[in-house]
Amino acid sequence: MIERLKARGVRLAPVFGAAILALGGLKSLGLWVSFSAAAAEEEVSSPAAPAPVAEGRLLQQLDARKRELDARETTLGTREKVLAAAELRLEAALEDLEREKQVIAAATDARQRDSKDEIDTLTSAYERMKPRDAAQIFAVLDDDILLPIAAGMRTQALAGVLAEMDPQRAKALTIALANRGAATEPAPAAVALDAPAPMEIP
Q: How many CA atoms lie within 13 A of 45 on its CB side?
A: 6
Band of residue 13 on the pLDDT scale cut at 50, 70, 90: low
E strand segments, 20-73: none
Predicted pLDDT of residue 103: 82
Per-residue model confidence as pLDDT tens digits over 96-117: 888 888 888 888 777 778 778 8
**pLDDT over 70, % of the chain:** 65
Predicted pLDDT of residue 18: 60
Q: pTM score, two decimals?
A: 0.42
Q: How far is CA 50 from the centre of its chain?
A: 52
Per-residue model confidence as pLDDT tens digits over 16-67: 566 555 555 545 545 444 545 555 555 545 444 456 778 888 888 888 888 8
Task: Report the largest interatomic distance among the alpha carbons of the chain, rounded to a whole angstrom.
Answer: 195
Residue 19, exposed/middle/buried by CB under 10 A (0-12, 13-18, 19+)? exposed
Alpha carbon distance 151, 132 (integer Å): 18
